[in-house]
Structure 1
Amino acid sequence: MKLFCVFLLFVSQLTFGQNSVVDLKDAGADSKGLVNCSPIINKIVAELSEQGGGEIYIPSGVYLSGPIELKSNITLNIGSGAVLKFSDDFDAYLPMIDSRWEGVRVRNFKSCIYSHNANNVTIKGRGLIDGNGKKWWDLWSRIREGEKTNTKWEAIFKKENAEMLKTNEYLQSMGSFLRPPLFMPYNCTNVRVEGVTFTNPPFWTLMPVFSENVTIDGITILNPGDSPNTDGIDPSSCRNVRISNSHISVGDDCIVIKSGRDADGRDANRPTENITISNCTMLNGHGGVVIGSEMSGSVRRVAISNCVFEGTDRGIRIKTMRGRGGVVEDVRVSNVIMHNMLREGVMINMHYHETPEEPVSDRTPAIRNVYLSNIRMTNANKGIAIYGLKERSAEQISFNDIQIDAKTGVTGDYASNIDMKNIRLSVSNGNAIEFNHSEKIQISDLTVYSLSADASVIKLDNCSDILVNNCFQPTELPVFIEGNQSVTNLFVINNILSGVDLLVEGDVPFLTEKGNIIKSDMEKNTQTAVKK
């Protein structure tokens, strides 16, 4: 019995050791932000790692640090009132390590916080992590403006990436001073970030790369609106990522899903799959939730729900271009409110940069099977834009229960298999819906509440196989559909258009119209009723 009790005591001590919590201030760190405490932090990480894991607790105060490596089974807990502020001494982020920069695998500066090949890594708490990025931004801007800085860091980058720089034109164009993200788990599993506020990253804020089972919950990201490329959350070639209950306001995209750039992304062949984004608010950024443009490894199965975007340039954006290759497919967006969109509420764009048409190959991207429902958009510059490629259309895109109040409405070019149901539009300039070089379009249950006097509800050019049915248009408008001889197989069926003067304007071959009621029909019915 005595021996058994001794054994239990040994086990309890071992368990306590493996789950111990170390207070950073008690370990001797300066809490006034005057002395770099990264040697103490990394020493604690190493000791905890040797015993199987544990937690570093950072209490109230300001703590200056260089890069921190979080190893397996380590938790970094930033307490309420604590500020973990990173050094802007670039030398502290050497030697360079394996990284990914805008979708290209490189050797680059260490991130402020990084993990490589780790499991069970957590950052949590109610405190603030400050990347102190201004010095990084300033040097980057000077280089991008053409200043020949020739710093030692550029020389180191060129040496570390000599082979890649021989062949990768994009890296050549970006120069040799590439800023690191604030937090980058690289090839990790079971990564969790919760509760913390992040600000001022040198580059992107949170960037999981080649990682699986990533949970980001209840965080806040606040980056200056004019800070360059300070994206919020950028999962790159990751699987099973859950982002929820977070507030983001940044200098670039709020949340953006990526999977590699061009040939290097296709060679890595690591798609981003199984992503959920829910219950988030996003202010001030180039896009609310974005996919691309670095999507060469493909992006599949993304669900976005219950989010609010206010004051972002765009709400939902999917962007790619010739040369990327890869596919974006199986994307679902639901229950989203957009207000004060500076550009498009929804943008699906395969022309992110203009490039010459080329034969379909592994360089040709694809966007397909995208479904958007229950979206409310107010005071937008433009409602929806879909731009495919001449050699490959954006296809299988559905809109259901969409309300849009915008300066301009819906535009599609090189789009195929587009389904629009239960659409409500108020537009101040131009046509409500306009498609060019598109096919297999179905528009049903459409109502336009306001439109400029000289515009049409629907305008078609070089389109085929269009069905417009079951629409209700009581507002006084001159023309419902405007077309020409380039439009074929137009079916206009069972529409009640009591405010419309003309059903179809233009010489449209193969026009089938049946069961439609326009203003003149209503007037006839009224006269008949009076005579009786």
Structure 2
Amino acid sequence: MGRQWWWGRGKSAKVTSMSMVLVLVPLILGAEARKGRVLESFEYTAMSCRGHTASITDFGGSGDGKTSNTKAFQDAVNHLSQYASDGGAQLYVPAGQWLTGSFSLTSHFTLYLHKDAVLLASQDMNEWPVLKALPSYGRGRDAAGGRFASLIFGTNLTDVIVTGANGTIDGQGAFWWQSFHKGKLKYTRPYLIEFMYSDNIQISNVTLLNSPSWNVHPVYSSNILVQGITIIAPITSPNTDGINPDSCTNIRIEDSYIVSGDDCIAVKSGWDEYGISFGMPTKQLVIRRLTCISPYSAAIALGSEMSGGIQDVRAQDITAIHTESGVRIKTARGRGGFVKDIYVKGMTLHTMKWVFWMTGTYKAHADNHYDPNALPVIQGINYRDVVADNVSMAARLEGIEGDPFTQICISNVTIGMAPKAKKVPWTCTDVDGITSGVSPRPCELLPDQGPEKLKACDFPAEPLSIDQVLRRNLIGWKFEQWSNLMSTISIFSLSKVSNDGLIWKGNEVGVYSVSSCVKVCSLGSEDVHFWKNIMRRGLVPPRVESFMWQVVLQKLAVKTELVKRGVLGIEDVLCPL
């Protein structure tokens, strides 16, 4: 007998039942999976569907680009927070220009932006609360005192989603950049999105423009997915880092495009003695399919604030164009901490100053109280399968005297030098490691092991726990991807209609229920009245039923794409929105 799956009835907040949220997939594949086996390393709790929804207009919001909506946003979140234990809630932001200062989110909550919705960051400093400096930093980044709260902020939260149909969050950063350059800021500039001490965070399908400073900053948090976002700021804008995971565990960043005045991704874990004392590393980080443009910074930076440690970073399929360096390690005496077990595979680089850059003399310190004897440990740095062209210098690798950077491995790398490139393509001091199949020829401190060692810098085969669950927003999928996704379910039927929901029966391959086709699909023949009646009764959102009708009547299916992406025998959540 096939498995059964129940999809419960959606509840309403101020306006309608649950809308545009999640696809719940119990995936049962293979003989062992049919016995109910779940991967032992599965630790990532999937986000639940939302039982309630409301629009910002229900709380007096105005999208005219002039009226402040700070109170409307905070009132909406405060109202919807009552549903955290009753299915959670979603706040919908329709098309319009929504001027707002900082506001805080709540747990079990989704902020959803229409494709033509723009959140405009207020330029009135009175709409930005001032927070204490982060304990792992000891002071603000721009000034010794506190810091302005981020535009979208949250602390001690669980299960929060910021997403949409590629709506926009515009920080209107020019106002802040000018104040920074003139030295007029008493506090550190705000970020666009920041979550502290939080768990299960998803940021996807939004465009971030002109941030006052960093764009996305998860800190002291875990189980974070950043996916399919676009970040754009002028290449001369100060400190507009793209995504900065900071003292976090289990992070996945993928399918993102960043143009920035600073590092596209900067991995951090606290500053000097404050970071050492706080002692919370960033670890188990996956970065995939990143495209970066940043002429004065790195595609991926590790540090310089790395005093709590950085470990187990896996970056793959990285493209950088007109960027200062591919992956850069920044540290110094007094930092302490460590950067180790770093794996980078598959970089394509065009017009770079350096391909590889490690700096042991990065001198910015929080204050004069750091311990100069606190030396960082840099080891186990692996790069392979890199192609670069129009490069000024292949590598600048500078460890610390008496504290060398060790276990560096570079293999299968081809670097095309620019017409006016440096005469000596590699400079190396206080480093130790090996190379294989690298052109131009590396420095003597990284001896060539010969072509038989081309795969010496192994990329780990064992997945991290963040990769044991698939949570993919499908809004940008191509037709072929949808076709593959719908290719393998066999029998699927409606088993029972009850007052609180529908029970669907499937075969041993699994049962699927989907709640967010963008529009109600057309219904046909004698089934029309039956299905429309179910919708009118409010048993589940109409988008669920229209999609399920297609699955049953048109034999749509869902397995190939999931298998292709390595999902075997686990429960997953998809977000087609």
Q: TM-score, structure 1 length as denominator?
A: 0.70
Paired position in structure 2 for 1:41: 73
Partner of 2:64: 32
SS at match of 2:323: coil
1:379 is matched with 390
Q: Which of 252, 257, 260 is 1:247 aligned to?
A: 257
Q: 2:150 matched to 1:111?
A: yes
Deviations 1:18-58 (A, max 9, x none): 62111223443111111011211111101110122311111
Q: 1:80-229 to 2 correspondence within 5 Å?
A: 80-94=115-129, 96-100=130-134, 103-104=137-138, 107-125=146-164, 126-143=166-183, 149=184, 154=186, 177-229=187-239
What SS does the corresponding residue of 2:72 show, helix, strand or coil?
helix
1:102: Cα distance to partner?
A: 9.1
Residue-by-residue CA offset, 1:305-356 (whole Å, 9 max, x unaligned): 0110000111111110111001100000001101101x2111012122399x
Q: Rg: which structure is higher?
A: 1
2:340 pairs, out of 329, 338, 342, with: 329
CA contact (8 A) 1:189 1:213 kept: yes
Q: Kindly tell me: are residues 41 and 384 of structure 1, through their superposed partners in 2, closer, same or farther at Cα, counting changes over 3 Å?
A: same
SS in 1 for 2:383: strand
Rounded to whole Å, the distance in 2 between the matches of 1:380 and 1:140 is 32
How is 1:235-314 mapped onto 2 (pairs within 5 angstroms)? 235-285=245-295, 286-314=297-325
Secondary structure of 1:420's counterpart equals: strand
Candidates 390, 404, 414, aligned match of 1:403: 414
Q: Which amino acid aligns with 2:426?
A: V
Aligned AA (1:443): D
Judge conservation of contact 2:354–2:391 (CA < 8 Å) in 1: yes
Greater than 4 Å deviation, 4+ residue runs: 10-18
Do the aligned partners of residues 223 and 354 (structure 1) sit closer, same or farther apart at CA in structure 2, a change above 3 Å counting? Answer: closer
CA-to-partner distance for each residue in 1:130-189, whole Å, 9 max, x for gaps? Answer: 01121111111111xxxxx5xxx73xxxxxxxxxxxxxxxxxxxxxx3112111101111
**1:526 is matched with which residue?**
none
Indicate conservation of the 8 Å contact 2:334/2:372, yes or no. Answer: no
Shift of 1:114: 0.5
Contact 2:90 2:110 in 1 (8 A): yes
Q: Deviations over 1:497-522 (max 9, x none)?
A: xxxxxxxxxxxxxxxxxxxxxxxxxx
Q: Is the 8 A contact 2:70 2:127 kept in 1?
A: no
Name the SS for the 2:240 alignment partner: coil
Cα distance in 1 for residues equivalent to 2:12 and 2:123: 39
In 1, Cα distance between equivalents of 2:65 and 2:103: 16
Give SS of 2:238's match: coil
Could you tell me how far apart the structure 2 residues matched to 1:264 and 1:92 are? 29
Measured in 2, the distance between the counterparts of 1:101 and 1:78 equals: 32
Quick check: 2:330–2:360 contact (8 Å CA) kept in 1? yes
Structure 2 match to 1:443: 448
- The secondary structure found in structure 2 opposite 1:442 is coil
Structure 1 distance, partners of 2:376, 2:83, is 48
Distance 1:102 1:89 in 2: 28
* Cα offset, 1:444, TM superposition: 3.1
C-alpha spacing 1:442/1:45, structure 2 compared with 1 (3 Å) = same
Q: Among the aligned pairs, what percent are the same residue? A: 29
After TM superposition, give the deviation of residue 192 of structure 1 in Å: 0.5
Q: Quick check: 1:319 aligned with 2:335?
A: no
Shift of 1:269: 0.3
Matched position secondary structure for 2:450:
strand
Task: Measure, in 2, the Cα distance between the counterparts of 1:414 and 1:318.
Answer: 14
Does structure 2 retain, via aligned residues, the 8 Å contact 1:105–1:264? no
Q: 2:438 aligned to 423, 434, 439, which one?
A: 423
What CA distance in whole angstroms lies between the structure 2 residues aligned with 1:103 and 1:333?
Answer: 28
Structure 2 residue runs of 5 or longer lacking an equivalent are 1-7, 19-49, 141-145, 366-370, 454-577
Report the CA distance between 1:99 and its aligned residue: 4.6
Separation in structure 2 between the aligned mates of residue 113 and residue 28 of structure 1, nearest angstrom:
19
Deviations 1:271-321 (A, max 9, x none): 000000001111124110110011000000000001100001111111101
Structure 1 position 65, deviation (Å): 0.6
User: Is the CA contact 2:333–2:372 (under 8 Å) kept in the aligned structure 1?
Assistant: no
Alpha-carbon distance in 1 for matches of 2:120, 2:128: 14
Q: Kindly indicate whether the alpha-carbon contact (under 8 Å) linking 2:299 and 2:323 is maintained by their aligned counterparts in 1.
A: yes
Number of equivalenced pairs: 391
- RMSD in angstroms over aligned alpha carbons? 2.3
Contact 1:326 1:362 in 2 (8 A): no
> Which one-letter code corresponds to 1:280 in the other structure?
L
- Residues 304 and 331 of structure 2 are in contact (CA less than 8 Å); yes or no, is this contact kept in structure 1? yes
The one-letter amino acid of 2:267's match is I
Q: Which has the higher contact order (CA 8 A, sep 6+)?
A: 2
Match of residue 434 from structure 1: 443
Q: TM-score, normalised by structure 2?
A: 0.65
* Aligned match of 2:35: none
The answer (yes or no) to whether the contact 1:104–1:264 under 8 Å persists in 2 is yes
Letter in 2 for 1:45: V
Aligned mates of 1:89, 1:354 — CA distance in 2: 30
Q: What is the alpha-carbon distance in structure 1 between the residues aligned to residue 276 and residue 100 of structure 2?
A: 36
Amino acid at match of 1:136: W
Give the match for residue 378 of structure 2: 367
Secondary structure at 1:330's aligned position in 2? strand
Compare the two structures and name the one with the higher strand fraction. Answer: 1
Contact 2:102 2:149 in 1 (8 A): yes
Quote the offset at 1:384 in angstroms: 1.5
Q: CA deviation at 1:121?
A: 1.2
Mapped contact 1:229–1:251 kept (Cα < 8 A): yes
Q: For 2:264 and 2:204, how far apart are their aligned partners in 1?
A: 17
